[in-house]
Chain A
Amino acid sequence: MKKKTKQYLTMALAITMGVGLLQGCKNNDTPKPTNPSEVQTEGSSKETQSSREEADTKLSGDVTFWHSFSQGPRLETIQKAADAFTEANPDVHMTIETFSWADFYTKWTTGLASKNVPDLSTALPNHVVEMIDVEAIKPLDDLIDRIGRDRFAKAPLEEMTVDGKCYAVPLYSHAQVMWYRKDLLEKYDLEVPTTWDELYDAATKITKGENGAVYGCSVPLGTNDMMATRYLNFYVRTAGSRLLNDDNTANLTSPEVIDGINYWVKMYKENSPKDSINFNVLDQATMYYNGTNAFDFNSGFHIGGVQTNSPDLLDQISCAPMPTVKKGDEQKGVETSNIPMVVWESSDTQDVSEAFIEFMYQPEYYIPFLRSVPVGMLPALPEIAEEKEFLEDETIKKFQREMEVISKAVGEGTAIGYENGPVPEAGLLISQGIIENMFQDIIINDVPVEEAAKAAEDKLNEQFKSLS
C-alpha cells in the first residue's frame, strides 16, 4: 500500500512539475526530482492533491503497448515499469507485445489496414513521419509540457514536429560514430583518423598489412538495408551538403555527393571485402564482432554487440567523432537516432498511455531502462546523464570517453534527410534501396559515377511523386 501511494505521489508530482515549468520557470534551472524519496517529501501541495485525484478518477482501461525491446534486460526493465504502473492504477490493464524493428514495421503498416494497431508504441524516427502523414498518431505537446519541455534536448523534439505540433516523445538517443580497434592502430603505428582521407590511408595500411585477415573499412552496400545511404550521408553531411535539396527533391549529383560516392567506391574497392556489396547491418556488425573489420560506423550499441559476441575484443574497441573532409574542420555528428514513444490516434485510452509515458521518465524506472544497454541508449533528458545512479554503471564507467563522444554527436546530428525537419521523402530515401543499387551498379557494371548518380536521383524523384 505504501509503495502504491508513493507512486501516485511521484506521478502527481511529475505532472505538477511539468505544469510549474510551463507556467513560470522556463529559463530557470529548476532542481529536478532526483530520486523517489526526495519526491515524496515534496509532494504535499494542494496542487498535487488535485492532480492526484484527477489521475485517480481518470486512469482506467486497456492499453496495448508495442515495443521493440524484445529481449534481455531491456524487456525486463520495461516490464517492471509497466507492472509498477498497473499496480498504481488498478483499473488499468496493460498488454505488452514486442517485435524486432523490421517486424514492427510490417506489423503497423498492415495493422493500419486491419485496425490492428496498439494504443501506445515505440517508433523509429523515419516511421514517425509516415505515421504523421497518415494521421495515425496524435500530437503530444500537452504531455511534453507536463513532463517539462525544457528537460528534453531540443533537436529530438524538433525532429518530430510537423506544423508546430510535436507527435512523439523521445525515449532515448544514439548517434553514429566511427569505431576503431586500438590494437590495430597501435600495431600499424596509426593515429585516430580525423579526416576521410586519413581514414582511407589508415584503412589501406591495415588492409595491406593484414592481407585478408582483417579489412580496413568494410563498406556495406546491400539493397535489403539502408547502410550505403547511411555511409554516403556521413560523407555528404560532413562536406556541408545534404541528400535532399531544400525543396525536398533528391540530391545525388552535387559535387559533394559525387565526391562521397567516389570516396566509398574507392574504399570498397581497396579496403572492403567484396561480399560487403550485399551486406546489411547485421553482416556488417558481425565483421566488427569477429575482428575482421578495423573501422566501422555504428552507435553505442556496438559495445553491447561486442560484449555479447566477442568479449575478448572488448578492451580493444573505441570510438571517435565523424571524420571531416578538410583537416581541422570541427568534427560533428551526422546521424542521430532519437527513438520516441508515440500514442495512436485510434486508441480510446490515450490518457492512460500518456500517463504511462510520464511514469516511465521517473528516474527509478528510466535509469534502469537506459542502463539495460549501457552507452547504447543515451537519455533523452540531459539531466539524467548527470545522475550518479546512471554513471555508476560498470560499462558506462569503462566507456566514459566513448559515451562523451557519442553524446556530443547526438546533439549535432539528425535522422537521414531530417535536417530541415521530418519529411516523408526521407523515408523513401532509405527504404527503396535506390542508393544501394546505384553503388552496386557502379561497382559491378562499371557505370560511370555521374551517370549512375543521375539515374538514381531521377528514380528517387519519380518515387517522391508517389507521396502526393
Chain B
Amino acid sequence: MHGLKKNKVRVAGSYIYLTILALLAVFPLLWIIVSSFKSNNEMNKFPTSFFPKELTMRNYNLVFEELKFGNNMLNSLIVSFASTVLTVVIAALGAYAVVRFFPKFGKLLTQGLILAYMLPTILLAVPYSITLGQVGLLNTRIGLIIIYLSFSVPYALWLLVGFFKTVPIQIEEAASVDGANKFQIFVTVVLPIVAPGIVAVAIYTFINTWNEFLYSLVLINSRDKMTVAVALQSLQGQEILDWGVMMAASTVVVIPSVIFFMCIQKFIAGGLAAGSDK
C-alpha cells in the first residue's frame, strides 16, 4: 500500500515537472508568434503585454512579398534535402564498408573524420571558399551542398557504424549463399535492418544543415540563393531595424522545423539507442 501511494506521488510529481518544463520550452515560441501579429507600435510599447490588442498581417506581408522569404525557405529546403540524401548515401555505404570490409582502416578513417569534425567552422570557411572558387562552385547551391557534407558525413558515419554492427552477419551469409552480390545484400538485406538508424541520421543531418549559418554566409553571395538562416541574420544587421518583421521572419523559420519535428519524432526516438554499439 505504502509503495503504491509513493508511486502516485511520483507520478503527480512527474506531471508537475513536465508541465513546468513544457511551459519553459514553448514560451519563447509562443512569444515570437504572438509578437509577429502585433503592430510595431504595440510591440515597442513598454511595458509589453503578452497578448496583442489588435492583429496585423503587415509583418508577414513584408516578409513574404518584399523580402521574399519564401524563396529563401525554398533554398534552405533544397540545400538541406540534397545534403541529407547525399550524406545518408555516402555515410551508409562507408559505415557498412567500415564494419564489414575494412575494420582496421575504417577505424582510422572514422577517427580522422571525428578529428576534422572538431575543427571550428570559422577556421574551415576560408580554405573552403578558396577551393570552391578554384572549381567555380562559389555562390552556387551545389557548392554549399558539397561543403555541408564535410560536417554531416563524419557525424552520420560515426552514428551509422554503430547501427551496422548490430546487423547479424548470419543473415548476410545466408543471402550470399543464395547468390546475391554484395551490393544486393547491402540494399535488400542490410538496409532494411538499419532503417531506423538511417532515418535518425537523416533527421539530424537535416536539422544541422537547416540551421547552418557561417558557410552559407561565406559561400553564397546572391540573395536569391541564400538560405533562411542568413536571410534572417541580415535582417538583424539593418541600420533601421524592424522588430515586427524580425518576429514574423523568425516564426516563419521556426514553425516548419517544429512541424517537421512533430511528424518525425517517432523516428528520432528509434534513433541512437539501437545504433549505439554495445
Contact = CB atoms under 8 A, between A and B. Distances in A.
Given A97-B223, A100-B234, A310-B44, A110 B241 contact: no
B250 interface: no
Contacts of B130: 113-114
Contact of B44 (A99, A113, A290): A290
A213 B138 contact: no
A346 interface: no
A103 B40 CA distance: 25
Contacts of A107: 217-218, 221
B240 A116 contact: no
Interface centre among A100, A213, A285 (most CB of B within 10 A): A100
B236 interface: yes
A311 interface: yes
A305 interface: yes
B234 A70 contact: yes
B132 interface: yes
B237 interface: yes
Interface in B211-240: 217-218, 221-223, 230, 233-240
A237 B81 CA distance: 55
Interface string A72-109: 10000000000000000000000101111111001100
A71 B237 CA distance: 11
A291 B48 CA distance: 12
Contacts of B178: none
Contact of A285 (B40, B133, B241): B241
B186 interface: no
Interface string B23-61: 000000000000000001101111000000000000000
B255 to A, nearest CB: 22
A305 B242 CA distance: 8
Nearest to A98: B223
Given A107-B218, A113-B126, A115-B133, A311 B239 contact: no
Contacts of B64: none
Interface string A414-439: 00000000000000000000000000
B243 A309 contact: yes
A301 interface: yes
Contacts of B67: 71
Interface string A305-316: 100111110000
Contacts of B199: none
Contact of A305 (B222, B236, B240, B244): B240
A8 interface: no
A95 B45 CA distance: 41
B137 to A, nearest CB: 11
B46 A116 contact: no
**Is chain B's interface secondary structure helix, strand, loop, or mixed overall?**
helix
A292 interface: yes
B139 interface: yes
Interface in B117-145: 125-126, 129-130, 132-133, 138-139
Interface in B233-278: 233-244
B240 A110 contact: no
Interface string B84-126: 0000000000000000000000000000000000000000011
Contacts of A291: 44-46
Given A70-B234, A286-B243, A291-B46, A110 B218 contact: yes
Interface string A283-295: 0011001111000
Contacts of B244: 309
B233 A116 contact: no
A298 to B, nearest CB: 10
Interface residues of A, number: 39
Interface in A266-320: 282, 285-286, 289-292, 301, 304-305, 308-312
Contacts of B218: 106-107, 110
B41 A311 contact: yes
Contacts of B125: 110
A111 interface: yes
Contacts of B138: 114, 116
A371 to B, nearest CB: 14
A100 B236 contact: yes
A309 to B, nearest CB: 5
Contacts of A114: 126, 129-130, 132-133, 138
B225 to A, nearest CB: 10
A110 B129 contact: yes
B58 to A, nearest CB: 11
Nearest to B222: A97
Contact of B241 (A98, A286, A376): A286
Given A70-B234, A282-B236, A282-B241, A309 B221 contact: no
Contacts of B237: 99-103
Interface string A146-182: 0000000000000000000000000000000000000
B223 A309 contact: no
Contacts of B43: 309
A373 interface: yes
B46 A292 contact: yes
Contact of B217 (A103, A213, A301, A310): A103
Contacts of A290: 44-46
A70 B126 CA distance: 24
Nearest to A292: B46
Nearest to B242: A308
Given A103-B234, A290-B45, A309-B40, A111 B240 contact: no
Contacts of A311: 40-41
Nearest to B214: A106
A445 B116 CA distance: 39
Contacts of A72: 66, 240
Contacts of B41: 309-312
A135 to B, nearest CB: 19
B241 A103 contact: no
Contacts of B66: 71-72
A66 B221 CA distance: 9
A114 B221 CA distance: 13
Nearest to B129: A114
10 contacts: A100-B238, A102-B237, A106-B218, A213-B46, A291-B45, A292-B46, A305-B240, A305-B241, A308-B242, A376-B240
Given A103-B237, A116-B221, A309-B43, 7 more contacts: A70-B234, A101-B237, A103-B233, A282-B241, A289-B243, A308-B40, A308-B242
- A-B pairs, top 3 by smallest CB distance, nearest first, are A100-B237, A114-B129, A114-B133
